[in-house]
Every structure is written in structure tokens, then in C-alpha cells.
Amino acid sequence: NESSTVNTSEMKYDDGTTAASSGAMSLIDNNSSSNNMPSAQTVKSLLKQLSLAESRRSAPKSDAEALSKQEWKFWQTQPVPQLGTKIQDNNGPVEENKPQSEIRQEPYKLPDGFAWEDIDILNNDHLHELYVLLNENYVEDDDNMFRFDYSMPFLR
């Protein structure tokens, strides 16, 4: 004398399709013992419905499928290839190696009060100066959450 009640409603997706969804909290199995466990058949049914609902929300299998399902407003504002764009496979250096004769021989001019300095990372005083300079000035973000803090042996 099994009696199960399952609330079923429809979920509406952006593309206008619907899928049945089960309200598992409304599940009542009067035929189980005092621990109120649902029957195996009811659990199977719920798992099947959950699986069907989840499969509707899975990631698209291809660019064409993703493009046909919805508009990706965020990614249209980013400097990335749009869906469906053919990308040429020409990986390589941004700039080819130059012969030494084409490399600038004198360093760039710095603003007044600044000078180029050679650093000997084998000298502990120089290494400590480099560490302090980077630690106190090199920050990845405005909130100082990603502050540079490599160890001196790492810098060496």
C-alpha cells in the first residue's frame, strides 16, 4: 500500500523550452518504516527526473550549439575570439630573434634623479635591496591582495 506524492512543476528556460522538475521535499512515502525513507522506486524516479533536468543545463558540445542557444553578452565585450571565428594556427614568437648588431647598445634615458644600476645577485646586500624593492613596490592589484613576496633564494 505505497503512496508517494511528488510535486511536479515546469522549469522554463531562456530558449522557451520547459522541463519537469520534482519537489523532493514534498516526497512522502507512507509505506516505509518510522525513518520516513522513500521507496527505491520513488528514489529511482527522482534521480531520473533530476538527471533529465541536469542534462538540459549541461554545457554546449560545440560553438555552433552554444551560438544557437543563447547570446553571450559578457564575452562580446572581451578581447577574445567570438563563437564561430576560425582561428589560424600560427603560434610563434611575438617578435623574432634579432642579431646582436640590431640590439640597442646604450640603455634608454631615465628621468632626472634615476640611474641604471647593475645588480650582483650573488652579493647578499644587492639581493636584499632587490627583494625590498620588489616586495614594497610590486603589487598585482589595487587592493594589495597579490603582493610580491618571493624568497631571496628564489630571486637568486
- DSSP character string of 122-150: TSHHHHHHHHHHHHHH-BSSTTS-SB---
3 state DSSP class of 2: coil
Segments of the chain with pLDDT less than 70:
1-35, 55-58, 66-71, 144
> By CB neighbour count within 10 A (0-12 exposed, 13-18 middle, 19+ buried), where does 42 fall?
buried
pLDDT score recorded for residue 6: 46
Q: Quick one: how far is CA 120 from the chain centroid? A: 39
For the chain, give the longest Cα–Cα distance.
93
pLDDT tens track for 127-136: 999 999 888 8
- Hunting for cell 509505506 — which residue is that? 31
- Hunting for cell 519537489 — which residue is that? 23
CA distances from residue 53 to 12, 44, 58 in whole angstroms, order as listed = 11, 14, 9
> Please, which residues have CB within 8 angstroms of residue 26's CB and are 6 or more apart in sequence?
5, 6, 7
pLDDT score recorded for residue 140: 74
Domain ranges, ordered by start, for the chain:
4-56, 108-155
pLDDT score recorded for residue 68: 66
Amino acid at 113: G
